Structure 1
Amino acid sequence: MTTASGDATGHSSSRVPRSGGAGRWLRLVASAPNARARLICFPHAGGSAGFFFPLLKSLPSAVEAYAVQYPGRQDRLAEPCLTSVDELADAVCEVLRQEPAMPQVLFGHSMGATVAFEVARRQERSGGGSPLGLVVSGRRAPSLRHAETVHQRDDDGLVAEIRRLNGTDDSLLDDPEIRRMFLPALRADYQAIETYRMVPGPPLRCPLSVFVGDADPRVSVAEAEAWREQSGGGISLQVFPGGHFYLSDRPQEFSDRLTAELTRLCGPVAGGR
């Protein structure tokens, strides 16, 4: 029952969680025996770590990849959902702080882009060093505020929004049992992103890459380009054919372009897998 919206149905991940505190939050997506850099992937609203498994096909050989598993879904279904971006960013920062030191690139799609951005800000403020880069996808710049109330809709209204984004099979959305499993996490995530307000601060020191679909109903190319305000050194903007889930519709093209960005950001640590 894997879905483009991130396997938020409660279906179990095919990967075994890591041990220790990171085991609740990080899932191994692509291993690299001689890894010298780490890619951390943040899913969208209602999404899960499983969303990234089919998308990372050709990473550089020295880059290992992990995906964040938010509480309230899949094997964390019994845990209470977090309803603010700050709570999510604080929790992920604490987990990453406990991990063995290794250069990192952060990647987030949709809501995950904002969470990854806040993680990068926290890492730079802590004095622990900047990520090698931040790659954001399918999300307008955090300085741009829209009045959105999807999380306040009833269940049918929430499902209507998912249908609009073409992220999930209709057969799953029509199944009452599956809806009961994934709608609480989806609502909590929408609350987190719709109530988020960026606290003004200095631009990021790390390089910033921006991916966006040219027909995304939730973010225009101009709104994606506005991420430039958050970068001290400009941005790399890449526009894909497609909508909000362009990366699921064109997985090989997405994987190839992400790999090229990782090679650029990671420099000499990257090589062909």
Structure 2
Amino acid sequence: MGAYPPSAAVPHHASRPARADSPWIRRWSGGTAPRFTLICLPHAGGSAGFYRPWAALTPPEVELLAVQYPGREERIEDPEAADMSELTAAVADAVAPLLDRPYALFGHSMGSAVAWELAHELHHRELPGPRRLFASGRAAPGTAKTGQLHRQNDDTLSAELARLGGTSQEVLADPGLRSLVLTAVRHDCRIIETYRPPDREPLSCPLHVLTGNRDPELGEERCRDRAGGWADLTTARTEVRVLPGDHFYLTPRRREVVATVLRRLDPSLTTGGAHTWPSTP
């Protein structure tokens, strides 16, 4: 859950063209010859820009890509996906040309379910699978609690966004911005709340579960139960990291989250060495 902040709330850095001509992909960082690709999936109502600040913490060896769902920002006029299956298929179409090097998937909240579905869809297409999958702020598909928020009125939906954090009161108080945010959130809530994951064979890649200790969606206590259910979805190792914070713990803890991802992707990415990275914006 959660909503994307207005573009004015995020420092603007022009993204470089992705290696695929797709409205679904934003490229936030990467050198001339990166060795790894990190593909990030946003939360409900979120945008690719949510991951843009990660670029300041990502070395040139890693190409940082983020998925832009339809129905928000510059894709406001694009038709929305009918359900999780349609959304995942479209994302798979967009990322398929970009899997020419080892890659990992990172999804926050709804994005963790999209990442899991995407890994299975790519396997079904006989494309390379992810080296690792990072699931943030949500219990595993099939075990996560679902509701009927997409059927609720604007005030109820706004109250839920305020409860989870991640959406400023200024945005919710502005009628124009609030309408844009709630439209995207309601659409994404419908996708995740009507999503019923089919029975599938477990993945073979390691799973890394990250969450905030005060996250109402997946707090520290729920993580004790088979890593929020994620441990049952892979034959490889499952690792859990709980950081201080609420559902959007990964914003104030950005540096720790990115460092965790890089270290698990390849330990050499966080050894320092000759790298000099700018401070977090």
Contact 1:214 1:242 survives alignment (8 Å) = yes
The match for 1:205 is 204
Relative to 1, partners in 2 of residues 1:123 and 1:19: Cα closer, same or farther, differing over 3 Å?
Answer: closer
Q: Flag structure 1 segments of 5+ consecutive residues without an equivalent.
A: none
Q: TM-score, normalised by structure 2?
A: 0.86
The match for 1:261 is 264
Asked if 1:62 corresponds to 2:61, the answer is yes
The CA deviation at 1:61 is: 3.5
The CA deviation at 1:265 is: 10
Please give the per-residue CA displacement for 1:45-96, whole angstroms capped at 9, x wherever unaligned. 0000110111343334421111000000011011122242221111010111
Pairing of 1:1-273 with structure 2 (within 5 A): 5-7=3-5, 14-16=13-15, 18=17, 22-99=21-98, 101-221=100-220, 223-224=222-223, 225=227, 226-264=229-267, 272=275
1: distance between equivalents of 2:39 and 2:68?
11
The match for 2:279 is none
One-letter identity of the residue aligned with 1:46: G
Contact 2:6 2:177 survives alignment (8 Å) = no
1: distance between equivalents of 2:18 and 2:95?
14
After alignment, is 146-155 or 17-26 more displaced? 17-26
Aligned-pair identity (%): 35
2: distance between equivalents of 1:262 and 1:125?
23
One-letter identity of the residue aligned with 2:71: G
Relative to 1, partners in 2 of residues 1:208 and 1:100: Cα closer, same or farther, differing over 3 Å?
Answer: closer
Instruction: Tell me how large the CA RMSD over aligned residues is.
Output: 2.6
Contact 2:141 2:197 survives alignment (8 Å) = yes
After alignment, is 177-186 or 122-131 more displaced? 122-131
Please give the per-residue CA displacement for 1:220-255, whole angstroms capped at 9, x wherever unaligned. 335440200001112011111111000012222222
Q: Flag structure 2 segments of 5+ consecutive residues without an equivalent.
A: 277-281
2: distance between equivalents of 1:37 and 1:265?
12
After alignment, is 201-210 or 54-63 more displaced? 54-63
How many residues matched?
268
Q: TM-score, normalised by structure 1?
A: 0.89
Please give the per-residue CA displacement for 1:82-111, whole angstroms capped at 9, x wherever unaligned. 242221111010111233622211110000
1: distance between equivalents of 2:237 and 2:64?
25
2: distance between equivalents of 1:88 and 1:8?
23
Please give the per-residue CA displacement for 1:196-230, whole angstroms capped at 9, x wherever unaligned. 11101110011111111111011233544020000
